[in-house]
Amino acid sequence: MNCPKCSALMESVTVESMQVDRCTGCSGLWFDLREHEHLKSVRGAEEVDTGDPARGKQQDAARNVMCPKCKTRMISMVFPEQPHIHYEMCSVCSGVYLDAGEFADYKQMTLAERVKYALTPLMKR
């Protein structure tokens, strides 16, 4: 599979028994159906996002991104709770592409929530 943004080869990496594809060029990440949502709650999963966020930012502007699996034009989306993160989703296979640094950013929210939750007294839960 080749990266939908820079065309470099994507390599398969295993995170918590899930297979994620990472670009050997720009370090963008490919998640199959809802994998990113699952991994968001997995501690340490952000380590898969080894890329340079500055590079990811540059690539964020790319439009007309084609799904590397089914060659459909992907839709540009944002996470409702983190509207600063732009990602691409395929409406056919539901694969999701995140630029370098975006998955770590996406995950950070959960950590913040977890801290908030931990600080909430038990009686109020």
Binding test (CB under 5 A) with Zn ion, winner from 45, 48, 90, 98: 90
| Strands lying side by side in the sheet with 18-23 | 10-15, 18-23, 29-31, 96-98, 82-89, 75-79
Does 62 bind Zn ion (CB under 5 A)? Our answer is: no
Q: How far is the CB of 74 from Zn ion (least distance, A)?
A: 7
Q: Toward Zn ion, which CB reaches closer, 5 or 107?
A: 5
Q: Toward Zn ion, which CB reaches closer, 51 or 106?
A: 51
Q: How far is the CB of 113 from Zn ion (least distance, A)?
A: 30
Query: Measured over all CA atoms, what is the biggest interatomic distance in the chain, rounded to whole angstroms?
Result: 53
Helix extents (H) in the chain? 35-40, 53-60, 102-119
The residues in 8-47 that bind Zn ion, with binding defined as CB under 5 A, are 8, 23, 25-26, 28
Q: Which letter does DSSP use for residue 123 in this model?
A: G
Rounded to whole angstroms, the Cα distance separating 92 from 69 reads: 10
Q: How far is the CB of 109 from Zn ion (least distance, A)?
A: 24
What is the gyration radius of the CA atoms in the chain, in angstroms? Answer: 15
Residues near Zn ion (CB under 5 A) are 3, 5-6, 8, 23, 25-26, 28, 67, 69-70, 90, 92-93, 95
